[in-house]
Amino acid sequence: MNPAVAGYLTRLGLDERPPATVATLFEIHRRHAEQLPYENLHTMLGSPPDIDATATLERVAAGGNTGYCFHHNGVLTSVLRALGYDVVPAWGHNWDTDAERQDVHVGHLALYVRGLPTDDNPAGVWWPDVGLGDGMHAPLPLTAGEYRQGPFAYRLELRAGGWTFHHDAKGSIVAVDLFDEELTTEQETAAHRRLTDPAGGAYARKLVVQRRLPDAAETLRGCMFTRTGARAEKTELTTYDDWRDGLLTLGIRLQGVDDDALRALFHRSLAAHREWLATR
């Protein structure tokens, strides 16, 4: 087995090569969602990590941070293929309003897994997604319907050319349109540059760290920590030590991160938080 794949599995607490079954798919997904947070820390520090899946997998296997959806689902695709799953690439477009929905652009990397029929999903096609932050804790069957996972209710809708995922009203996004197409390297690179552009990229505006637990979702956005679901909580983290502890609690690794740069990011985040409070 590829050493990086083995390292990734070990980090999730899976020390042996598991079989390519539905149970394994669910186990990997749940452990990934709980242990490897969705985050844009290095983008906010001015060095967005490359989206090359091999490089990301090696970084994660070595104990580093993962990144956002292109990184998370890129890693998941590589690992599942190495384990023998039939993975079909796709991509998505996140939207919150009808106007945003019409302005279609690559904003999400997605994948489907085929060939795993069950009594509840006889077609055997699953949609795993560990790149939606406070999204799914486990894969969904790629079948139109309503689904509940912990505190969130989801809806999958079939449409021409793909699917639409409707998040719970408590979630951080409204919906994602999924397209049954494979992205080219050029499309991925262009999307990554746009999303992480320090001059206004969607993922370069505010620090966001999220992880999904069985009964809750936890988010650190700027200087506000929020837990949605069990043990609901909303806390302002207005000292550097509390904010740094919040990052660590959510699973962020700070090895190799310059402390002065991290402090500077905290102070920028705190200033933006106070400006936001002044407008309320």
What tens-digit pLDDT sequence spans the chain (280 residues)? 899 999 999 999 998 899 999 999 999 999 999 999 999 999 999 999 999 999 999 999 999 999 999 999 999 999 999 999 999 999 999 999 999 999 999 999 999 999 999 999 999 999 999 999 999 999 999 999 999 999 999 999 999 999 999 999 999 999 999 999 999 999 999 999 999 999 999 999 999 999 999 999 999 999 999 999 999 999 999 999 999 999 999 999 999 999 999 999 999 999 999 999 999 8
Do 3-193 and 202-278 show the same overall fold?
Answer: yes
Cα→Cα distances 246→27, 143, 225, 254, Å? 26, 37, 8, 12
Determine the Cα–Cα distance for residues 7 and 60; give it in Å rounded to an integer: 8
What one-letter code names the amino acid at 169?
A
Domain 202-278: top CATH class: alpha beta
Give pTM, 2 decimals.
0.97
Q: Which fold has domain 3-193?
A: Arylamine N-acetyltransferase fold (3.30.2140)
Nearest to 130 by CA among 228, 15, 234, 8: 8
SS (H, E, C) the chain: CCHHHHHHHHHCCCCCCCCCCHHHHHHHHHHHHHHCCEECHHHHCCCCCCCCHHHHHHHHHCCCCCECHHHHHHHHHHHHHHCCCEEEEEEEEEECCHHHHHCCCCCEEEEEEECCCCCCCCCCCEECCCCCCCCCCCCEECCCEEEEECCEEEEEEEECCEEEEECCCCCCCCEEEEECCCCCHHHHHHHHHHHCCCCCCCCCCCCEEEEEECCEEEEEECCEEEEEECCCEEEECCCHHHHHHHHHHCCCCCCCCCHHHHHHHHHHHHHHHHHHHHCC
Locate the domains of the chain by residue range: 3-193, 202-278
